[in-house]
Structure 1
Amino acid sequence: MSFFSRLFKSNAAGEENNYLPQGSYLNPYSTLGELDFHLISEGRHERLWDVLGAHIKRDADGSLIGTAFSVWAPNAQAVSLVGDHNFWDRNTHPMVRAGSTGIWEIFVADVGPNTCYKFAICTINGTWVDHADPMARATEHPPRTASVVTESNYNWNDSQWMEKRKSYQPWRSPVSVYEVHAGSWRPGLSYLQMADELVAYVLEQGFTHVEFLPITEHPYSPSWGYQVTSFFAPTSRFGSPDEFRFLVDALHQAGIGVILDWVPAHFPKDEWALAKFDGTALYEHADPRLGEHPDWGTLIFNFGRNEVRNFLVASALYWLEEFHIDGLRVDAVASMLYLDYSRKEGEWLPNKFGGRENLEAVQLLQEATSTAYKHHQGIMMIAEESTAWGGVTKETSSNGLGFGFKWNMGWMHDTLEYLQHEPIHRMFHHNEITFSILYAWSENFMLPLSHDEVVHGKGSLVNKFPGDRWQKLATLRALYGFMWAHPGKKLLFMGQEFAQNNEWNQEVGLQWYLTEFAEHNGVQKALADINMSYKGLPSMWEKDIFADGFQWIVGDDGAGNTLAFVRWSDKGIPVVCVTNFSPVPHEQYSLRLPVSGVWREVVNTDDLKYGGSGITNNSFAVDVDTNLYAKVRIPPLATVWFERV
């Protein structure tokens, strides 16, 4: 009988094991109990990170005892712990299989924080492969790939924010999101430095939330974080997990929410990570028609497996619980929902009813959203979903996916398509700028101008528009005024707030020097003022998800490239938005205002301080009983908001 055969024989029955190396213990400090095994097998362990992975044990006075390790690898012949502590020798610390669950355990004395480790797994065919811990809560700095033993000693200072969040209703609140790639916002900053510079900047610009492209550890930087290898570890590129907590805490104390991009759709094929973890397709589907993504060269999770769904739901909960995250934006939902996504005929398998819907992925998304909302009131679960799938933001009890918001990709594409036409041709495409209102309340929408629109040869936002330099900048300012008035929450990718010239390049960061030039600084000021006005006007957000919060005034002036509408608050207070997407000013434009009173401009993107032409309106009175129409000045390529005094 081999060494490993003798080691693992009868251990599940609790017989004494005489083959454990000195300093290693089987069960005294196990993180798993009978209930844990049951919940894991059912796929219902909502705090999976508490029982799997590496857990430091200390005695009553805080002195280190050692670390307990556990990993799920049901088809492995043997598993050993390797790392700094044993010179990466798989013969030193073999692990023991715990019952029939497929979980392997070991406790190693005197091993503590900052120890690098992996699990050496002997596959069915006898091959040994070293894998990072799927439940690792810290990692080595890429390109190194080991997991790191860690524990949190962080004391949070955001209790006021967290208490207030319990009663927060985001669909009835101002939500203006600044989308950030942490590595290229200002290259070289750590989490601690971001806690100073990013917080101050977001406050200055008036955004309500920051959304980070995936912070979860990823070895390949050009993936921007979307090829995740550690679903429970913040990337070590910018500091430790507790230093990331410090950043979140600083944002909260400044009154800024934090949203993370979360990627449950796929994972990379790196052999040291999740791929063929125990020598079999454990986390992924074995059949490539279900288990491989043809476009991205990645593997697709086996959403039908209890343990895999548990792993992903626990990952979502981990960020919300352990890092006080206020929302998760779920990436690539469309790729999860359709079995034939980006596949040709014969390259996919239908579901049990013969359809193209991925029923197991639907179940995973419903579990993730419902469980997240159950435990964390006031958060946002946001879907990046680009198809006509019905009920994305419908409650799971009504067979919806249960998200709080869905990115309105249709609005984004139609609006940018319209604005890329020469103004003289826009009259023939007026439906592109008005069509979104026809479905604006079919879901709870967020309007995105995201990173996807300024990469891969698409150029920056400002350079998508026709005309000379002044017209491009004016169009961008007008777009922001229109977007912030349109029903739906707002999201803007970093750099576009000051009209970055180049498309985004994560290798070089943003063109911050441009803000020293008046034309770019003007756009930056305009957006800051729009944000501040938006937050102060309940009409612009209280009734976002209700059709009676919106009323057309002018929807058919295609020849003038102009549209006007009213936004209403709960108390019936109106704000009128007028946008002129032509380069010609409209003097004495007839505008039918909804109520009598004195009206004034609250936003005008053509203001001289923004680099505009300075066509503005003085306050004016109107009596709708005697004169239905006011005569106003509408600047060229500009948006104006009017409020009643």
Structure 2
Amino acid sequence: MALRDTALPEAAGPRPLAAPALDPADRARLLSGAHHDPHSLLGAHPVPEGFLFRVLRPFADAVSVVVDGASTPLVSEADGLFAAVLPLDAVPGYTLRVAYAEDEREVEDPYRFLPALGDLDLHLIREGRHEELWRALGAEPMTHQGVTGTRFTVWAPNAQGVRVAGDFCCWDGTAFPMRSLGASGVWELFLPGIGEGTRYKFEITSRHGGRFLKADPMARRAEVPPDTASIVHTSHYTWGDDAWMAHRGDVPVHVAPFSVYEVHLPSWRPGLTYRQLADELPAYVNDLGFTHVELMPVAQHPFSGSWGYQVTGFYAPTARLGTPDDFKHLVDALHRAGIGVIVDWVPAHFPKDDWALARFDGDPLYEPGDSRRAEHPDWGTFEFDYGRVEVRNFLVANATYWCEEFHIDGLRVDAVASMLYLDYSRDSGQWTPNVFGGREDLDAMAFLQEMNATVYRRSPGVVTIAEESTAWDGVTRPTDSGGLGFGLKWNMGWMHDSLQYIAKEPVHRKYHHHEMTFSMVYAYSENYILPISHDEVVHGKQALVSKMPGDWWQRRANHRAYLGFMWAHPGKQLLFMGQEFAQGAEWSEAHGPEWWLLDDGYASAGDHRGVRDLVRDLNTVYRATPALWERDTDPAGFRWVVGDAADDNVFAFLRYGADGAPLLAVSNFSPVVRHDYRLFVPDEVPAWAEVLNTDAGHYGGGGVGGPGPVKAANGELLLTLPPLATVWLTPSSV
């Protein structure tokens, strides 16, 4: 907090008078960090003889007040307190000269400043309606009353006292108690001379007398784990994605191509920083033709070996890969490459680490007070208290923060079902019904509606996506119609059923045929994404190609045929990294995708490149064919051609664009070639030509079929269906 060197001539100031003693109770509370209004005791205050100056500087040998270059020593009151009365007519502009054993510095007095947070901010915080909460709470570098420094604010309504501790005071917060700003529960202190890069925490004294250090819930930057301090941060990034931001909302996501590559950034290319990833990831994703990336949680989390779903810093990108501005650079690079960015967002729960959100001010604060409701039975974490307006505000503002500060294009909301049901993973007696006697969490429902409505209002073009695994009605219905208001929902039913089918030996698939057709019964009940995500290819579930039956050729053929079926099925697509080139091993945090499988020196590299080439072509044809995405949410955009050929393991259906142009998708999930397979197609289409065949030789297939047009006679089409393959055909003029 030094302002300048003190090698200055020291003129004598006015003769000081003895200061009245502090009230013993106030003194005890101040020194113990339990005083709600330290500014009433410290700083300059009028008394009959002039102005009383009192300073708290532990370990200082002497403290003087400097007015117009003249220095007046204060008298030690022990325990780091120094005070005196100066016979002055008005409060002067002053600084403090603080002498230590080997150091002397001239500093501003933090206790001469008015609150740096306005009444409107406090009102909105108390009402739970501050949509830019990150501008009001946390550490904000600023100029206040003509002095540069940092305003520290934190919500801790149950605390007796809060102090700021950091590397600028050897992590002893004694000298920097914060003041309570009343019923808002907010504590505030402006510290002159503190700037960017400063590490800090809040030292909280609970109403039970405990004292502990907490990381800032609103910190926009954090230390690299296992270190846990918050860091004062101001962004200096200049965005270059104006064209993207101006047009990202031009076409609603429901009627646009939407093909997602899911990425765990720390392990996609282990060791790369955000800026290094910006040099590689956009080019890779662009080459494969995906429209979006979905980044698994990038918010700060303590365990490096995890996916990142136990978040401790909701407003800070993980520091493992760089600074917040470095993360902005990565998003910017993706946008400039024409790729949208979705991030996984985790408002369902948070870990119990004692330096983070858990029992933040000594009492349940972000979590419910009822331990049965607070404990998440599956993950050993705490759930959020959605009934508390300040907690809802914390989360709603966090959603808008990622969209506005980091230009994020979509939020995939994790574990929505665990939020919506009071009895989620709980037995009888472990939960209490809502006011209507039901098991729905009405507070969580209201929170999700508020979050979605706020994000869509403030950030046009952004899409919210629910990972919701039940049949809750109206997940993607607008909030004004009683829905939750999400834009899209993961189709967990399709994922489960189709993976169960494809894992069967072909001879048994006829008994599970309905598992591939059932999804069309409810396909238009919500706006769906078809996810083959990290959850389905790790932790003993096997990678996608390893789920397939048969030898290596058959497993790859099944893998390719399944992807062809998936890309043609109504709904958007999502594929987890490594599956695009048929990696056989499950994900490992240490080495990420097995890129060496594509190397020239690997004997089977061609097999893996063939699958990667197929994914590229799937995306290329998909994006160029409106029938595959334009009417994803319209039943008129789909028609079964063959849906009941269980003995043949064949599925055929038509997709239609808004102009009526069709695409015919045919999947043969049996290992035999089916010659002259009869399909009945629209009479008005005289011939059909292959635009994609997953059995093509350059994908590693057998090359059955071909690009030549096949004529239809009176709506009857005879096709040769390659084994374990999906074929796409479009009308031909021949």
Distance in 1, Cα, partners of 2:334 & 2:239: 12
* Superposition deviation, residue 507 in structure 1: 2.4
Find the partner of 1:482 among 539, 542, 565: 565
Which residue of the partner structure matches residue 170 of structure 2?
87
TM normalised by structure 2 equals 0.85
Which residue of the partner structure matches residue 582 of structure 1?
670
**Aligned pairs (5 A) from 1:470-509:** 470-509=553-592
* Superposition deviation, residue 592 in structure 1: 1.7
Distance in 2, Cα, partners of 1:621 & 1:91: 83
* Superposition deviation, residue 20 in structure 1: 5.5
Find the partner of 1:354 among 390, 414, 437: 437
Find the partner of 2:399 among 306, 310, 316: 316
SS at 2:173 equivalent:
coil
Is contact 1:167-1:377 (8 Å) kept?
Answer: no
Distance in 2, Cα, partners of 1:239 & 1:58: 27
**Aligned pairs (5 A) from 1:30-109:** 30-58=115-143, 65-109=148-192
Distance in 2, Cα, partners of 1:356 & 1:188: 45
SS at 1:539 equivalent:
helix
Alpha carbons of structure 1 residues 449 and 27: separation in structure 2 relative to 1, 3 Å = farther
Which amino acid letter does the alignment assign opposite residue 636 of structure 1? P
Distance in 2, Cα, partners of 1:437 & 1:9: 63
Find the partner of 1:633 among 708, 714, 720: 720
Is contact 1:31-1:51 (8 Å) kept?
Answer: no
* Superposition deviation, residue 600 in structure 1: 1.0
Distance in 1, Cα, partners of 2:688 & 2:177: 77
Distance in 2, Cα, partners of 1:111 & 1:13: 22
Which residue of the partner structure matches residue 729 of structure 2?
642
Which residue of the partner structure matches residue 162 of structure 1?
245
Distance in 2, Cα, partners of 1:28 & 1:171: 52
SS at 1:91 equivalent:
helix
Which residue of the partner structure matches residue 542 of structure 1?
630
Alpha carbons of structure 1 residues 506 and 245: separation in structure 2 relative to 1, 3 Å = same
Write out per-residue CA displacement over residues 320-343 of structure 1, whole angstroms, 9 at most, x where no aligned residue.
000000000000000000000001
Alpha carbons of structure 1 residues 8 and 424: separation in structure 2 relative to 1, 3 Å = closer
Is contact 1:598-1:619 (8 Å) kept?
Answer: no
SS at 2:260 equivalent:
strand
Is contact 2:349-2:381 (8 Å) kept?
Answer: yes
Write out per-residue CA displacement over residues 341-391 of structure 1, whole angstroms, 9 at most, x where no aligned residue.
001111111111111100000011001001000011111100000001000
Which amino acid letter does the alignment assign opposite residue 317 of structure 1? T
Which amino acid letter does the alignment assign opposite residue 27 of structure 2? F
Alpha carbons of structure 1 residues 189 and 30: separation in structure 2 relative to 1, 3 Å = farther
Alpha carbons of structure 1 residues 185 and 9: separation in structure 2 relative to 1, 3 Å = closer
Which residue of the partner structure matches residue 374 of structure 2?
291
Is contact 2:202-2:213 (8 Å) kept?
Answer: yes
Distance in 2, Cα, partners of 1:158 & 1:304: 38
Is contact 1:30-1:105 (8 Å) kept?
Answer: yes
Which residue of the partner structure matches residue 559 of structure 1?
647
Which amino acid letter does the alignment assign opposite residue 311 of structure 1? F
Alpha carbons of structure 1 residues 20 and 400: separation in structure 2 relative to 1, 3 Å = farther
Distance in 2, Cα, partners of 1:131 & 1:431: 53
Structure 2 gaps of 5+ residues are 1-24, 46-52, 57-95, 97-107, 600-604
Distance in 1, Cα, partners of 2:483 & 2:55: 51
Structure 1 gaps of 5+ residues are none
Question: Structure 1 residues 589-598 or 272-281, which shifts more?
Answer: 589-598
Distance in 1, Cα, partners of 2:112 & 2:649: 73
Distance in 1, Cα, partners of 2:180 & 2:258: 49
SS at 1:425 equivalent:
helix
SS at 2:633 equivalent:
coil
* Superposition deviation, residue 221 in structure 1: 2.2
Which amino acid letter does the alignment assign opposite residue 716 of structure 2? Y
* Superposition deviation, residue 476 in structure 1: 0.4
Which amino acid letter does the alignment assign opposite residue 637 of structure 1? L
Find the partner of 2:661 among 564, 573, 585: 573
Which amino acid letter does the alignment assign opposite residue 728 of structure 2? W
Which residue of the partner structure matches residue 322 of structure 2?
239
Distance in 1, Cα, partners of 2:116 & 2:516: 57
Which residue of the partner structure matches residue 605 of structure 1?
694
* Superposition deviation, residue 100 in structure 1: 2.2
Which residue of the partner structure matches residue 418 of structure 2?
335
Alpha carbons of structure 1 residues 612 and 64: separation in structure 2 relative to 1, 3 Å = farther
Distance in 1, Cα, partners of 2:290 & 2:112: 50
Distance in 1, Cα, partners of 2:363 & 2:588: 38
* Superposition deviation, residue 463 in structure 1: 0.7
Residue 453 (structure 1) aligned with residue 507 (structure 2): no
Sequence identity percentage: 54
Alpha carbons of structure 1 residues 112 and 10: separation in structure 2 relative to 1, 3 Å = closer
Is contact 1:186-1:509 (8 Å) kept?
Answer: yes
Which amino acid letter does the alignment assign opposite residue 44 of structure 1? R
**Aligned pairs (5 A) from 1:612-623:** 612-620=701-709, 622=711
TM normalised by structure 1 equals 0.97
Alpha carbons of structure 1 residues 618 and 84: separation in structure 2 relative to 1, 3 Å = closer
Is contact 1:24-1:93 (8 Å) kept?
Answer: no
Alpha carbons of structure 1 residues 64 and 283: separation in structure 2 relative to 1, 3 Å = same
The number of equivalent residue pairs is: 641
Distance in 2, Cα, partners of 1:67 & 1:10: 18
CA RMSD of aligned residues (A): 1.8
Find the partner of 1:439 among 518, 522, 529: 522
Alpha carbons of structure 1 residues 19 and 460: separation in structure 2 relative to 1, 3 Å = farther
Write out per-residue CA displacement over residues 108-165 of structure 1, whole angstroms, 9 at most, x where no aligned residue.
1111111100000001111111000000000000010000001001110000000001
Alpha carbons of structure 1 residues 299 and 402: separation in structure 2 relative to 1, 3 Å = same
Question: Structure 1 residues 592-601 or 337-346, which shifts more?
Answer: 592-601
Find the partner of 2:335 among 252, 255, 271: 252
Is contact 1:12-1:97 (8 Å) kept?
Answer: no
Is contact 1:420-1:465 (8 Å) kept?
Answer: yes
Write out per-residue CA displacement over residues 558-584 of structure 1, whole angstroms, 9 at most, x where no aligned residue.
111001000000000000000011111
Write out per-residue CA displacement over residues 67-93 of structure 1, whole angstroms, 9 at most, x where no aligned residue.
110001111111110001111112121
Highest Rg: 1 or 2? Answer: 2
* Superposition deviation, residue 597 in structure 1: 3.1
Write out per-residue CA displacement over residues 530-570 of structure 1, whole angstroms, 9 at most, x where no aligned residue.
01110000000000000000001010111110010000000
